[in-house]
Structure 1
Amino acid sequence: MFPAAPTPRRVLPPAAGPPAPDTAVPAADAPGAGHRAAGQAVTEAARPAAGAGREAAGSGRDAFFDNAKYLAIVLVAMGHSWEPLTGLSRTAGALYMTVYAFHMPAFIIISGYFSRGFDLRPDRLRRLITGVVVPYLVFETAYTLFARWAYDDPDLPVSLLDPWYLTWFLAALFVWRLTTPLWRIVRRPVPLALAVAVLASVSPEVGDDLDMQRLLQFLPFFVLGLNLRPEHFALVRRRAARIAAVPVLAAALVLAYWAVPRMTSAWFYHRESAQELGAPWWTGAVMTLATFGCSLVLTGCFLAWVPARRTWFTVLGAGTLYGYLLHGFLTKGARSRGWFDGHTWLHTPLGEIAVSLTAAVAVTALCTPPVRRALRCVVEPRMTWAFRKEPVRQD
Structure 2
Amino acid sequence: MPARDPYLDNAKVVLVTLAVIGHWWSLLPQTLESERVYDFLYTWHMPALVLVTGYLSRHFSWSGPRLRSLAETVVVPYLLFSTLLAAFTVLLGYERPEHMFLVPMWPLWYLMSLFFWRLATPAVTWLPAPLAVAAAVAVSLLGGTLEYPYLDVTRVTGLFPFFVLGVVLTPELLAKVRLPAVRAFGLAALAYTFYVVVDGIDEWAGTQWLYFKGYDYLGVDDGRGIEVRAFLLLVGLCCTVGALALVPATERWWTRMGGATMVVFLVHGFVLRVLGELGFEQWALDHPRLAPVAVVGGSIALAVTLASPPAVRLFTPVVDPIGHLRAKAARPTRVPVSAAPAPPRPARETFDDRVPRPLA
1:354 partnered with 2:297? no
Richer in helix (by share): 2
Which residue number corresponds to residue 59 of structure 2? 117
- Give SS of 1:277's match: coil
Report how far residue 245 of structure 1 moved. 3.7
Which deviations, in whole Å up to 9, do the C-alpha atoms of 1:331-366 show, x marking residues without a partner? 2222244321354234x2332112221112112211
Which deviations, in whole Å up to 9, do the C-alpha atoms of 1:298-335 show, x marking residues without a partner? 11000101000000110111111110111111222222
Which deviations, in whole Å up to 9, do the C-alpha atoms of 1:29-49 show, x marking residues without a partner? xxxx5xxxxxxxxxxxxxxxx
Counterpart of 1:71 in structure 2: which amino acid? V
Structure 2 matches for 1:369-380, cutoff 5 A? 369-380=309-320
Counterpart of 1:115 in structure 2: which amino acid? S
Counterpart of 1:360 in structure 2: which amino acid? I
Among 71, 81, 97, which residue is 1:139 paired with?
A: 81
Matches of 2:277 and 2:143, distance apart in 1: 32
Which residue number corresponds to residue 95 of structure 1? 37
The sequence identity of aligned pairs, in percent, is 31
1:265 partnered with 2:207? yes
Which residue number corresponds to residue 181 of structure 1? 122
Among 313, 323, 326, which residue is 2:254 paired with?
A: 313
Structure 2 matches for 1:209-220, cutoff 5 A? 209-220=150-161
1:208 partnered with 2:149? yes
Which deviations, in whole Å up to 9, do the C-alpha atoms of 1:26-81 show, x marking residues without a partner? xxxxxxx5xxxxxxxxxxxxxxxxxxxxxxxxxx1000000000000111111112
Structure 1 window deviating more from structure 2 (332-341 vs 120-129): it is 332-341
Which deviations, in whole Å up to 9, do the C-alpha atoms of 1:104-142 show, x marking residues without a partner? 111111111111111121211221112111111111111
Matches of 2:316 and 2:283, distance apart in 1: 36
1:222 partnered with 2:159? no
Alignment CA distance shift 1:339-1:192 (3 Å): same
**With structure 1 as the length reference, what TM-score do the two structures score?**
0.77
Which residue number corresponds to residue 307 of structure 2? 367
What is the RMSD of the two structures over their aligned residues, measured on CA atoms? 2.0
Larger Rg: 2
Counterpart of 1:92 in structure 2: which amino acid? S
Report how far residue 294 of structure 1 moved. 0.5
Structure 1 window deviating more from structure 2 (312-321 vs 124-133): it is 124-133
Matches of 2:90 and 2:13, distance apart in 1: 30
Instruction: Indicate if the aligned counterparts of 1:119 and 1:180 stay in contact, CA closer than 8 A.
Output: yes
Alignment CA distance shift 1:248-1:184 (3 Å): closer
Matches of 1:260 and 1:192, distance apart in 2: 27
Counterpart of 2:45 in structure 1: which amino acid? H
Alignment CA distance shift 1:111-1:178 (3 Å): same
Matches of 1:195 and 1:156, distance apart in 2: 33
Which residue number corresponds to residue 196 of structure 1? 139
- Give SS of 2:86's match: helix
Matches of 1:280 and 1:156, distance apart in 2: 30
Instruction: Indicate if the aligned counterparts of 1:95 and 1:256 stay in contact, CA closer than 8 A.
Output: no
Among 66, 69, 88, which residue is 1:127 paired with?
A: 69
1:75 partnered with 2:21? no
Counterpart of 1:376 in structure 2: which amino acid? T
Segments of 5+ residues of structure 2 without an aligned counterpart are 328-360
Instruction: Indicate if the aligned counterparts of 1:213 and 1:273 stay in contact, CA closer than 8 A.
Output: yes
Segments of 5+ residues of structure 1 without an aligned counterpart are 1-8, 10-32, 34-59, 386-395
Alignment CA distance shift 1:244-1:181 (3 Å): closer
Instruction: Indicate if the aligned counterparts of 1:141 and 1:158 stay in contact, CA closer than 8 A.
Output: no
Alignment CA distance shift 1:349-1:255 (3 Å): farther
Counterpart of 1:110 in structure 2: which amino acid? V
Counterpart of 2:21 in structure 1: which amino acid? M
Report how far residue 84 of structure 1 moved. 2.8
Matches of 2:124 and 2:255, distance apart in 1: 31
Instruction: Indicate if the aligned counterparts of 1:94 and 1:260 stay in contact, CA closer than 8 A.
Output: no
Report how far residue 91 of structure 1 moved. 1.8
Matches of 1:290 and 1:343, distance apart in 2: 34
Matches of 1:61 and 1:328, distance apart in 2: 27
Counterpart of 1:330 in structure 2: which amino acid? V
Structure 2 matches for 1:9-88, cutoff 5 A? 33=2, 60-85=3-28, 87-88=30-31
Among 231, 239, 251, which residue is 2:172 paired with?
A: 231
Which deviations, in whole Å up to 9, do the C-alpha atoms of 1:163-191 show, x marking residues without a partner? 11111111111111112111122350111
Report how far residue 291 of structure 1 moved. 0.9
Count of equivalent residues? 322
Among 189, 205, 229, which residue is 1:248 paired with?
A: 189
